[in-house]
Amino acid sequence: MSRTPTDAPEGAVHRSGFACFVGRPNAGKSTLTNALVGQKVAITSDRPQTTRHTIRGIVNRPDAQLILVDTPGLHRPRTLLGERLNDLVRDTLSEVDVIAFCLPADQKVGPGDRYIANQLAELNRGRRGTPVIAVVTKADLVTHEQLALHLLSVDQLGEWADIVPVSAKGGYQVGTLADVLVKHLPEGGELYPDGELTDEPEAVMVAELVREAALEGVRDELPHSLAVVVDEILPREGSNGSNPLLDVRVNIFVERDSQKAIIIGRGGSRLRHIGTESRRGIEALLGNRVYLDLHVKVAKDWQRDPKQMRRLGF
């Protein structure tokens, strides 16, 4: 993974900033995020939404750093909680540099899309507008003719800074979309520069990779009892080459001894498997070789103890 703009041409502009993806459920936001970032970072766990700006991935290029943040989902409010959630979404949207509105090519523009389009228009009314890119996703599922018709109806749906058809699965135009998003970022250096390996977003992503691997196959047994906390990420002393070995120390917390036994497995076999699986993702994420040190600990009934929950990052 390229992390510094050192290979950018002399005097070239470097841009950095935030983008977020909106769109109705199943529009293809997560798949597209993964295709852009080129790593598996999407969070499929049921971790409660506690941070407003969950970072889904960082696209590092010689000319730009694009940080993709998540929103809890823009939907029609049915309850007061829904309204609060939508306020939160609007706050996030007004803080990012560019918004990508995903509309699946294989489905007609519908009321859900119109609702989001209206919300976006309202957000931009009477203020410095946040550019919105209409992204027509899943282009591989339709014919050229259908795609052309769909692009026309998307065009009529609102004011877009650009319209880009993509297929995350077929790899069609994913690079073009990255170019278009980057174009709307302000000039500036990397916001998450090299060397800040313990910076929260990366630690959160490392924790999610471990959590996902740990839950594999035991999701039903331990759905909510697992918390993963990254203790430290440190370059190994004496390995200061261009690609130092990183020591990554991670604690896996469960609520009961019986759950600890499940995670560790017979003779430690499950824990070894979790280590191998998650290390692969962590190395891809950090761009370094990694020595992963996993510890399983029991934090009795942590879900009922606010102090423990805070300690575990909830």
Ligand X SMILES: Nc1nc2c(ncn2[C@@H]2O[C@H](COP(=O)(O)OP(=O)(O)OP(=O)(O)O)[C@@H](O)[C@H]2O)c(=O)[nH]1
30 is annotated as contributing to ligand binding: yes
Question: Considering the complex, what minimum distance in angstroms separates the CB of residue 86 from ligand X?
Answer: 15
Question: Considering the complex, what minimum distance in angstroms separates the CB of residue 173 from ligand X?
Answer: 10
25 is annotated as contributing to ligand binding: yes
Question: Considering the complex, what minimum distance in angstroms separates the CB of residue 28 from ligand X?
Answer: 3
Q: Which is nearer to ligand X, 64 or 157 (by Cβ)?
A: 157
Q: Are 121 and 41 in contact (CB under 8 A)?
A: no
307 is annotated as contributing to ligand binding: no
Site residues (vs ligand X, CB under 6 A): 23, 25-31, 137-138, 140-141, 167-169
Question: Considering the complex, what minimum distance in angstroms separates the CB of residue 107 from ligand X?
Answer: 10
Q: Are 98 and 186 in contact (CB under 8 A)?
A: no
* Greatest alpha-carbon span in the chain: 64
d(Cα 242, Cα 235) in Å, to the nearest integer? 11
Structure token pair of residue 230? 């990254």
Amino acid in the structure at residue 154: V
292 is annotated as contributing to ligand binding: no
Provide the terminal-to-terminal Cα distance of the chain, rounded to the nearest Å.
30
Question: Considering the complex, what minimum distance in angstroms separates the CB of residue 34 from ligand X?
Answer: 8
27 is annotated as contributing to ligand binding: yes
Question: Considering the complex, what minimum distance in angstroms separates the CB of residue 109 from ligand X?
Answer: 16
Q: Are 1 and 19 in contact (CB under 8 A)?
A: no
Q: Which is nearer to ligand X, 139 or 182 (by Cβ)?
A: 139
Q: Which is nearer to ligand X, 27 or 286 (by Cβ)?
A: 27
Specify whether the backbone of 73 is left (phi greater than 0), alpha (psi in -120 to 50) or beta.
Answer: left
275 is annotated as contributing to ligand binding: no
9 is annotated as contributing to ligand binding: no
Q: Which is nearer to ligand X, 26 or 240 (by Cβ)?
A: 26
Secondary structure of 65-133 in the HEC alphabet? EEEEECCCCCCCCCCHHHHHHHHHHHHHHHHCCEEEEEEECCCCCCHHHHHHHHHHHHHHCCCCCCCEE
Q: Which is nearer to ligand X, 63 or 106 (by Cβ)?
A: 106
Q: What DSSP element (H or E) covers 164?
A: strand 162-165
Q: Which is nearer to ligand X, 170 or 306 (by Cβ)?
A: 170
What is the residue-wise DSSP string for 127-163? S-PPPEEEEEE-GGGS-HHHHHHHHHHHHTTS--SEE
Q: Which residues define the annotated binding site? A: 23-30, 70-74, 137-140
Q: Residues annotated as binding site for GTP?
A: 23-30, 70-74, 137-140
